[in-house]
Each structure stands twice: as structure tokens, then as C-alpha cells.
Structure 1
């Protein structure tokens, strides 16, 4: 988040924080805190000090799971519980926000305390100051740019010889007029003015060229728009936001640009989504980014187990291929032994080489066969026959092992693909207990047997016009089918307003819609295997599997649909007619 977006967020938060009283402080992730308030209009303020995407915005959303509280959390709770916000200050040139609280602590030096939130990229921090602005405690070590130590008087990080953005707003900066003479005006502006990031600097240069206004006037105009009450907020991404969220591309999502104004310089290069105001845009973006990032971190141990197991199976397959090559080389030993037997040489003598006639070629030819001189010719021939027989038996065993190894690899790849496709916490929590965790170091139990079918034996299976259709038998089978067997693009069916089986139609081609005949038959199966079996017409919901999630602590078989369509059909059992 660039400085101009933070300016807009703070200016739009200021009116809503008039009655801000801290009720409780929660550490919702290792680098984030939520300050819960006693105000219904402003229930919570979230502060995240992730190095790549530090943020401050109103939200009480937090992903499932518990985070171990730090010592800094205990300090915040001790001093700021029941504290009332007195003032809110943000230097125009700094990505720093300072909250001044009147505390419930009776001592004079702690009656007023300041919470300084530094949202500096790669060096964010939260610092607690006493009434005399001495550093009491900090979440992370204070950087050398401050030039201070713990318990010393706090000062902002040094910015060098750059112009302060507030000075540019208040007075005319004539030394900025030669911006057009610069080969790279955007970089030149960033190096001259503190508080300008690449996005805002690029927008200033773009508008100055377009409008031909003095640079100082253009900067003031843009900052006035940024500080005005927000009536819209923009989120710019290099690809459409829906596409990024669908494919769960966190790297692209983390590079999104949050803006309180429409950025003309990005119109041709970026896609944008408009929100009612900058607060709503920030809340959507940072909550979505945080939730997806923490979910990927939760999946990492399991994916690592699967990746390591896949590497071991790949090494095993390579070893089997080398053995297969040796067995293929042993194929010619029988012919060589037969040629040695019919060579006319004395079988009880020792030879280093034996010249024989090769009748197995198109034209007979003399070839020289090396033998072991420490053994008789008969012993050499016997050893060749034994090696040939052993190779024949080994090829059969090797073929079985190769099939098993490749089947295991295929199952691992399928499991990995399905894990990567999980994008919501409800689905993850529904299946996390059944997946291998940090303590497991081998092939997952569900994949341990090479001949194990991906489909649980309890599920019903029918083929409709060449399509595999799976039907659950009870609540646990329904969960197994929906969240373990079904792929994200498979079609999912369930009767409306009644209990019943989940029905899944395979969709390997990732088609957007099912053929009408298969759609009707699958819906009829969902209607038949439900409590509405005896009804004349039954409404059935259907959607893609990726739109089905599992609520937390929900009983087996209960799911939530993010979007769906409906169709009315007559219940019919196609199992008996397939």
C-alpha cells in the first residue's frame, strides 16, 4: 500500500473514530493485531505488519485457527484495554500513523500513551510510547534509521535531503519545475520528494504531461482529491481480479494497487475493480490477501509431504528403469550360451575368448565371445543360462513394480492438484484432519497402496453416456465424495430442501455446461436418492464442485453453496438401467 492510499484511509477513518475505546486486543496472526472497540459503528481496527504488505484498515475478520500471543500482545492489553482515543495523526510524507490514547492507568507518565504504527515496506513495526514519547516497547526491533534505542525519545525515520510533502503543499517548490528535462521524471520525483511512491509519481507525471499544469499545482490537486471524503475506491491488477482469485495467484494479488482516485496512467495496462469507497476496497483486498496467504501457509506442510513422497517415487521409477535396461541386456545371453555350446570347443577347458558362428543374424558371421578364464566353458554357459532365466523372472516382477510405482505417482499428483485447488477455509478445515501433517514423512495413508482406487468402495458408480457419475450413501460418504473424490470442475447435484445423496458428474474436459440429457439424468439420480424419492417433481440444485464449501463444525453431509442453478425433474434410478 502506497502512502497516498494510506493518507486516504486515515482521512476517511478519522470521523468514524470519534468514540474509539479499546475493548480488547487480539493477535489474529503472527504479524497482525485486531483492536476491538465498544462502538457499533466502528467495531474493530486491524493492523498487519507483514513485511511485503503492511496495512491498517477497519475489519474484524480473522481466519480460523489459533495464534500464540506474543509478549507485545500482553503489553498492549495491559496498557490499552479500556483506553480512549484522543487524537489521530499521520505525517503527510511518512507511512506512519500515530494514535494517542487516554489510558485507564492511574500513573501520570502512563496516563497518555501513543501507539505508533509504521507501515514502511520491508520494515513495518508497532511502537508503544509513554506520555513523554519514550519508547516503552516495540513489536519488532527498532531500525537504525530512527537513530534511537529502546526507552529513548521516539523520532521518525530519517528521509535524508528530500522535500517534505507538506512543504510542497504549503509553499511553491520552484526546483521541481525542471522535471521535464529529466530522462526519467518518475524516478526523479521519487528521489526528490519524501512520501511519493512509484504509482503516485507516475500518475503525477502522466497528468502533468496531459494537462500541461505546473508540477506543484498537479501534486496539490491530486493530494486534495486523495484527502477528500471517499466516494469510490479502485483496485488495479495486471489481470482481471476475478481471474486472479479463481486461479489463486497470490503473487499477482499481492502486487495489486489500492487507490482512492482513478489512475489514468494505468488505464491501458491494468484491469480495475471499483468499490463504494477506499475503506471498502482496503477491507476486501487485505482481508482476501491475508486469508489466502494464511491458507497457503496451512497447506504447505501437507504439500511438502506429498512433494517429498513424489520425489522418492520418481527416484524409484528411475531405478526400476535402470534395472529394466539390465534385464534387456540379459535377453541375448541365451543365444550366446547356445552358440558357445555348439562351438565345438572343449567344455571342460578354460578360455579367455571363444570364436563362434552367429547363425541368428541374417547372414552367419564369426563373432568373438569373451568368457571368464577362471571358469570352464561349461560353467560360463551354465551361468549365462541362469542369468537369462533370472532376467525372465525379474522382468515380470519389475513390470508389476513399475505399474505400482506409476499408479502411486498418479495418485499423489491428483491429491496435490486437489489441495492446490482449495481456496476457502471451510473446505480446508473439512478435510484437514484426514490429510497427512507435519508429523508424517511417508506416502499419505490414502495413497499407500498402489492398487487402491481413488473412489471409496462405499460410493455408487454409474456411467451415463460415457460419463462417470458418483453417488454418496450417507453424510460421511457425501463429504468424502464432494471434498476428496470430486475435482473442482466436476458438476455437483443435490436435491433442494430435502436430505439426500451428493451426486458428482466427472468433467475431465472442464466444460462450462453439461449436455441436457446428462444434466437431467444426474438430477433425476439426485432426486431419487433423497427423501423426495416418491414425489412427482423435485427441484434439484446443481453447480461446479468449486462452488461447494463446508461450514465450520457442520455435521457430515452439510455444505454451503456459493452459487448454483436449479432444475425440476422426476426422480428416477438410472443405476438399474446403465
Structure 2
């Protein structure tokens, strides 16, 4: 059962101001915990002063059901925000114009019935609609604070085994209901969906589902015919907000942004000046803060169309500039009234109108399709990043451990190689016993093994006699003689482990899909890099991924593995006369040129460039790539996936080049 954010402030630490029964009651009903007993997995923010203890928990489950392994249930949102910032510096512009375009397209789904309702995430709903003419579609409503939106979607997000309480409530009231109307509140990002359903007695009743798309204040509210809140996906109690309380049974009221004027209510130049001219901020920020429907992206587009600088203040505008600004806003209003939207796509963002100040392309499909595509790409990138992070951290730790182990082993080997010379010291001691004084720390001995009989200084242990010193040197020599082969074997094993971990790291860095990351994770479990999955754990078993497929200019088929498991399958399945390529002494992909004929120069160069690109040396130049027949490639017994040895190779130097696969 999901409970909304509840914040309680006490005049002193809770443990000392409450008797135990009262403390237990508060714990149970408000998901508040003393600091030393907060479950590791529960997301909370704690602020302590000398007089106040404040506990905040977000989406707290019942105490017994709180996950205790994840760092925070909002971790996915944090990664998503990071990914969005990498893509464009700020979250994507789901502004009032794009909402108007989506609302216009949803008119085609009037009279559609709700077949099923799902809640795949804490703040996301998916309504499965069925229309007599249009067929079936999924309508997504998300109050995700990082990516709030409403649009039709083609994705099928996975759902929890047990539906949350809000989802069950919606199913009770809305399953089987008919979509009557979709309306937007001016150009505010508030979309109301009107449904006709039935109550518990079977009587016809109208409901409203209101999606408020306002960043971290986004919400989805179900309202009855009397304008009473049935429930919200995020309840807002008095302890959380003194401005607006949103709880079941209260009258629904949208506060909105009091300082903003609805863009659709601006009827002339004078109205525009009244809304903007007293602002002390630059014109770009003023448009966003004073008019509804404007995102920073849309504000920059408006200024570009009117040839105005973004940093100019409203009070600096001339009469002609005010007129140009009003005409541009009037054009946007007419576009909304006539539903003549022009969805546009840039590298990092989208808009409901054509963008002249950016290198944007006109989106050929619907606004719903545009938002679905761009947001799904961002979510996929986030899922991929999240799937990689834990594995990358494990690999980095193991690499550091193995590098330190190798360094120590090499130091031991160096010391043993020096100890091989100690046999001569022992023999010189025995040959010069008459020259060694008792309890001396060193002795100048004659080296009878050299023709000119030079004198050699040998260190001695004063607590031992001469014979014992000689025996000590012989023991160290014997230990080094027997230990060197063992240490060399350990070094070879550690080097092979390091090479395997580096290949895992390279494969993981290049992985472009979550399924490929999962395949790498399974490989790590099978080879002891990760602990095996617990027995009985449920995970979808996917088909083995396929290698990349390319065609050379001469028509020869080139296959490229993307992970160790793929490399293993690719090399094993290749014909003995096929050609095999790999970067020389660098972790990377196995590449196969199909066919027994000697490849022409362009095919060989292209295959070598692919081998260099899909390797750890993709950022380098003049990368050495070995090539040989597949029959000369062997896999040592017991070696990890993708590890091979080969002979009869030749080497070519190429620069890495990325080619588009077939």
C-alpha cells in the first residue's frame, strides 16, 4: 500500500518526547522511524537541529514491505534526470503547446472505452482504450517529477505483481467507462479527461481525471460529479503543503500560477504589455513566468521569430517591437484554435510548432508519436545506464583488486629472481670458512669461481655461525628456485583474469541495449564474477543476441560480436576457412569475414576498421589488427568466454571507423 509523503516536525527528538505506545502508533501510521532504526532501503531525508527533528519519507510502504536493498525508490528518476541533462541540459519541453496538440489528437478517441488500467510505476498510469473505429491504444499519464507527460504510447511497460491501491480504485470506478471529452485549461499544462461510467449501484455517473503536468508538483486526480476528490496519485496533506491540500473527500480546486496570464486571453497589444512590462527580468524569462504555455524553448523560438534579443528587458521594447511580439503570439493562438500544429524534433528536444532558431526537422507523424518516441529514447537510455552502473562498479573493483595482486606477484617474482644469486654466496662462505670471524656482520671472501679470484663482500647474520649462514643462503636459493615457476603460473592466471575483466568492461561500455547488458550479467554469473542468482528467482530468459551484420563494398558478409558470449558463439560457428580478425593484444570484438576466398583489400580494410572500432582502442589511431583463417584460432581448455589463441596471423594497421549495420 503506497502512502503519500508525510512530514512530521517535533519540538525535540521523537524518542524522548513520546511514550513508547504513542511512538509506535506514529511509526505505524506515518512511516516515521527513529534515526537508528530507519531501514537501509527506505528513502528519507533527515534534518537535525538542537531543537527539531524532521523526518520525511516518500512513497513509504507498510513497514514490513519496505524494500531494504535499494538505495532509494527514486533512484531511477535521479538517473533519468542525469540522462536528460546530458541530452540537452534540461528536461524536455512538454509545454502548453505540445499538450494542446496532444489534446487535439485525442479527439479521435472520443467514445473509446477503458478496457484495463495499469500503474507500472508509482506516479504513472496506462489506460488501455478500445475504440470501434480506431482500434486499441494505450494512453499514458505520468506524474513522474522528472518526466511528467500525457500521450498515447506504443510501449508496454512491465507492471507490478500486485496493483497499487490507486490503480485498484481507478479500476473500480473507470474500467468500462467511456471517454467523452478531453479539454485543456487554457494553455496551462492541465488536461482533464471526462469519462462516463457507473457507480456501485449501476447508475450512470460522470468522472473527471485531471492530469496536472507541473514538474515536481505534477499529479493525477480523480474527481466525482460533485467536484470532490476521490483520490490522487500523490496525496498532499497539510503537513506537506499549506497552500493546497489534496486529499480524498475535499473539494478539488486548481490554484494554478497566480502571476501568469493565459496566453489565449491576450486579445491585443495592450493586454500583452500589461502582462509583461512591469517585469525586471529579461524577456525570455518573463515570457516563461508571465504567460501560460511557454517553455524556455518556445520563448527562444518566439524571440527568434520577432528578431528580439533574449536578454532585453520588456521596458526596453519599442512600440514596433511590442507589435511584432503580439503578432507572433497571435499566430500561435490561431495555430492552437485551428489545431494546425507543426510538431518538430531536434537532437535534444521537441516542440508543437516549427523551430526556426534550431536545426529542427518537421516530424511527419502525430504529436503523440513524437512525445512517445523522444521520451522512450530517454527512458531506454536511462534503463541502459542504470543496468550498466552496478556491473561497471563490480568490474572496476575487481580490476583494482587484480591489478594490485599482479603488482604483488611481480614484486615476489623479482625478489625470487634476485635470490637465485644467493647460492654463490653460500658456496663462497663454505669455501672461505677460515676467513670468517665469529659474530661478524660481513666478510670479504675470495671468489674461486672467477679466473682472477676477485674479493666479494658477503653479508652475514652475527647470531649464526659461518655454516649456518651458508645454509640460510642455500634455503633462500632453493625456495626461489622452486617458487619461481609457481609465481609465474599465478602471474599468467592473474593476467588472464585481468584480460577477461577488461573485455567485460569493454563489452559493457559498448552495450547499446538492456538485453545485451543482461546477457553480460549472466556471463559474469556463470564465470563467478558475480554470485549466481538465487534459486527460484524469476527472470525472463531471452534468446541469445545476434552479432552485428555488415556488407563490404564488394558484397562480402562481415559479422561482429558485441560481447564475450557473442564472440564465443560467432567464432565457434564460423567455418574453418572463414577469415577471423581481432585487435592485437587489445580487448575487443571477434570479427568474421565469411567465405574461403582471400578477401579483397577494401573488405579486409573495412573488417579491420570494424575490429578496431568495436574494441577498447576505438578512440586511437593506427590500431594493429591481426587476421588469420578461422582454423588457426583455438580456445584453451578452461579459459573464459571469448578467450582464444591463434597462429599464422598477419597484422594490418587501420583507424577505427563506425559503419551502419545492415
Task: Specify the TM-score bucket, using the shorter chain as the normaliser.
Answer: 0.5 to 0.7
Per-residue Cα deviation, 1:304-352 (whole angstroms, up to 9, x for no partner): 5555544443343343344345445545545655665666676583234
Whether 1:204 aligns to 2:302 is: yes
Question: 1:285 and 1:302 mapped to 2: Cα distance?
Answer: 27
Aligned to 1:229: 339
Aligned to 2:328: 218
Whether 1:455 aligns to 2:568 is: yes
Note the C-alpha offset of 1:16: 1.3
The change in CA–CA distance for 1:145 and 1:124 in structure 2 (over 3 A counts) is farther
Aligned to 2:375: 286
The change in CA–CA distance for 1:128 and 1:432 in structure 2 (over 3 A counts) is farther
Larger mean Cα displacement after TM superposition, 321-330 or 408-417: 321-330
Q: Per the alignment, in what secondary structure is the counterpart of residue 306 of structure 2?
A: helix
Question: 2:390 and 2:227 mapped to 1: Cα distance?
Answer: 43
Note the C-alpha offset of 1:24: 0.9
Q: Per the alignment, in what secondary structure is the counterpart of residue 303 of structure 2?
A: helix
Alignment check: 8 A CA contact 1:127 1:139 kept: yes
Note the C-alpha offset of 1:366: 8.6
Note the C-alpha offset of 1:158: 5.0
Aligned to 1:81: 175
1:308-457 correspondence to structure 2 within 5 Å: 308-327=397-416, 330=419, 333-334=422-423, 337=426, 349-354=438-443, 371-424=460-513, 431=519, 434-436=522-524, 442=530, 455=568
Question: 1:155 and 1:358 mapped to 2: Cα distance?
Answer: 103
Alignment check: 8 A CA contact 1:63 1:425 kept: no
Question: 2:203 and 2:243 mapped to 1: Cα distance?
Answer: 23
Question: 2:462 and 2:576 mapped to 1: Cα distance?
Answer: 66
Note the C-alpha offset of 1:282: 1.9
Alignment check: 8 A CA contact 1:353 1:371 kept: yes
Whether 1:261 aligns to 2:353 is: yes
Note the C-alpha offset of 1:45: 0.8
Aligned to 1:509: 609
Alignment check: 8 A CA contact 1:348 1:378 kept: no
Q: Per the alignment, in what secondary structure is the counterpart of residue 11 of structure 1?
A: helix
Q: Out of 146, 163, 172, which is 2:271 matched to?
A: 172
Whether 1:16 aligns to 2:108 is: yes
The change in CA–CA distance for 1:65 and 1:96 in structure 2 (over 3 A counts) is closer
| Structure 2 stretches lacking a partner, 5+ long | 1-92, 309-319, 534-564, 596-604, 614-628, 631-657
Superposed CA RMSD in Å reads 4.8
Question: 1:154 and 1:129 mapped to 2: Cα distance?
Answer: 7
1:561-572 correspondence to structure 2 within 5 Å: 564=662
Alignment check: 8 A CA contact 2:190 2:211 kept: yes
Note the C-alpha offset of 1:104: 1.4
Aligned to 1:150: 247
Aligned to 2:213: 119
The change in CA–CA distance for 1:60 and 1:366 in structure 2 (over 3 A counts) is same
Note the C-alpha offset of 1:73: 1.5
Q: TM-score w.r.t. structure 2 length?
A: 0.58
Question: 1:99 and 1:393 mapped to 2: Cα distance?
Answer: 82
Q: Per the alignment, in what secondary structure is the counterpart of residue 610 of structure 2?
A: coil
Note the C-alpha offset of 1:35: 0.5
Note the C-alpha offset of 1:148: 0.6
Note the C-alpha offset of 1:510: 0.7
Larger mean Cα displacement after TM superposition, 294-303 or 434-443: 434-443
Per-residue Cα deviation, 1:356-385 (whole angstroms, up to 9, x for no partner): 689999x99998765443333433343233
Question: 1:64 and 1:491 mapped to 2: Cα distance?
Answer: 40
The change in CA–CA distance for 1:377 and 1:201 in structure 2 (over 3 A counts) is farther
The change in CA–CA distance for 1:512 and 1:385 in structure 2 (over 3 A counts) is closer
Question: 2:435 and 2:159 mapped to 1: Cα distance?
Answer: 82
Per-residue Cα deviation, 1:184-216 (whole angstroms, up to 9, x for no partner): 432343344454321111112222226944433
Note the C-alpha offset of 1:303: 5.3
Note the C-alpha offset of 1:81: 0.5
Alignment check: 8 A CA contact 1:109 1:130 kept: no
Question: 2:214 and 2:428 mapped to 1: Cα distance?
Answer: 82
Question: 1:45 and 1:441 mapped to 2: Cα distance?
Answer: 42
Note the C-alpha offset of 1:74: 1.3
Note the C-alpha offset of 1:178: 5.3
Alignment check: 8 A CA contact 1:109 1:131 kept: no
Question: 2:241 and 2:471 mapped to 1: Cα distance?
Answer: 81
Per-residue Cα deviation, 1:158-204 (whole angstroms, up to 9, x for no partner): 5353444444467713246659x978432343344454321111112
Alignment check: 8 A CA contact 2:114 2:128 kept: yes
The change in CA–CA distance for 1:563 and 1:314 in structure 2 (over 3 A counts) is closer
Q: Per the alignment, in what secondary structure is the counterpart of residue 163 of structure 2?
A: coil
1:521-536 correspondence to structure 2 within 5 Å: none
Aligned to 1:50: 144
Alignment check: 8 A CA contact 1:62 1:291 kept: no
Q: Out of 198, 201, 212, which is 1:104 matched to?
A: 198
Question: 1:282 and 1:488 mapped to 2: Cα distance?
Answer: 38
Note the C-alpha offset of 1:156: 3.1
Question: 1:206 and 1:182 mapped to 2: Cα distance?
Answer: 21
Question: 1:263 and 1:189 mapped to 2: Cα distance?
Answer: 17
Number of aligned positions between the proteins: 463
Alignment check: 8 A CA contact 1:305 1:443 kept: no
Q: Per the alignment, in what secondary structure is the counterpart of residue 111 of structure 1?
A: strand
Q: TM-score w.r.t. structure 1 length?
A: 0.65
Alignment check: 8 A CA contact 2:438 2:462 kept: no
Note the C-alpha offset of 1:132: 3.2
Question: 1:230 and 1:400 mapped to 2: Cα distance?
Answer: 73
Whether 1:276 aligns to 2:365 is: yes
The change in CA–CA distance for 1:342 and 1:196 in structure 2 (over 3 A counts) is farther
Aligned to 1:187: 285
